[in-house]
Structures are given as structure tokens and as C-alpha cells.
């Protein structure tokens, strides 16, 4: 079975400071990992994904994520937070080696960036 955990319900950061939103996953095969962002009353928007290659993945709006196989983590990062980054962030995973699996989403982390 595949699963994903976002250990923090909320992350608070001051504008201009670096931010990290944590994600850990569990799959039996190779992971296919995503980050999505949800603004209030909107659908999810794709930020970035990792399937293979460089462990540091760059995405939309200046976000990046670091894949760490040994720690089974895929943390989302941004060097300098903006107030407009305040939103709900979802990590998702799929086991590439299990053809029957679809995407599994984490419970979400609310990011609050204060001026």
C-alpha cells in the first residue's frame, strides 16, 4: 500500500524568510511525487513533480522540492516567502511499480505567511 504524510497541519513564516513544508511517503516500489497548491475556494493547482533524475525539482512560483530516497521525503521549499504564498499545500504520491495504484494525497498543510 502507498501512503503520504504531511506532519504539520499549519506552517507559519514571516514574509521574506525561507519556508519548508514537509512530506514523507511510503511506497513499495519507486515513487512518483507531486506538490499541489489550493487557494481559497479554488481547485488544486499543480506546482511540481518528481519521477526520476535530479533530486532537486524546480516548479512554479519559485517553489522547489528535494527528493530524499533514504529519508523517503519530498519537502517543499522556497527561499523567500511571499504573503501571496499563503494557501493549502498537498503532497501526493503514486507507486510507479504498482500499475493498479492511483494518486494518494496527504492531508494538506496550511501555509500562513505574515507580513
Which residues make up the interface to other proteins (CB under 8 A)? Answer: 9, 32, 34, 36, 41-46, 49, 90, 94, 99, 101-103, 105-108
Of 58, 102, 101, 52, the closest CA to residue 77 belongs to 58
State how far the Cα of 58 lies from the Cα of 50, in Å rounded to an integer: 9
| Beta carbon of residue 52, minimum distance to other proteins (angstroms, whole number) | 12
State how far the Cα of 68 lies from the Cα of 60, in Å rounded to an integer: 20
**Rounded (5°) CA angle 97-45-27:** 20
Please, which residue, 78 or 94, has the CB nearer to other proteins? 94
Please, which residue, 18 or 97, has the CB nearer to other proteins? 97
The phi, psi pair for 8, rounded to 5°, reads -110, 125
Contact in structure between 104 and 91 (CB atoms under 8 Å): no
Site of grid cell 511506497:
27
| Beta carbon of residue 88, minimum distance to other proteins (angstroms, whole number) | 10
Please, which residue, 47 or 81, has the CB nearer to other proteins? 47
| Beta carbon of residue 28, minimum distance to other proteins (angstroms, whole number) | 16
| Beta carbon of residue 45, minimum distance to other proteins (angstroms, whole number) | 7
Please, which residue, 91 or 113, has the CB nearer to other proteins? 91
Amino acid at each position: 500500500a502507498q501512503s503520504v504524510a504531511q506532519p504539520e497541519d499549519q506552517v507559519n513564516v514571516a514574509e521574506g524568510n525561507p519556508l519548508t513544508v514537509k512530506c514523507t511517503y511510503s511506497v513499495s516500489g519507486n515513487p512518483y511525487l507531486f506538490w499541489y497548491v489550493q487557494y481559497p475556494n479554488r481547485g488544486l493547482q499543480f506546482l511540481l513533480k518528481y519521477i526520476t533524475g535530479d533530486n532537486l525539482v524546480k516548479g512554479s512560483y519559485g517553489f522547489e522540492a528535494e527528493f530524499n530516497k533514504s529519508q523517503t521525503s519530498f519537502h517543499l521549499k522556497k527561499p523567500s516567502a511571499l504573503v501571496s504564498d499563503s494557501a493549502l499545500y498537498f503532497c501526493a504520491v503514486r507507486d510507479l511499480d504498482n500499475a493498479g495504484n492511483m494518486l494518494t494525497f496527504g492531508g494538506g498543510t496550511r501555509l500562513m505567511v505574515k507580513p
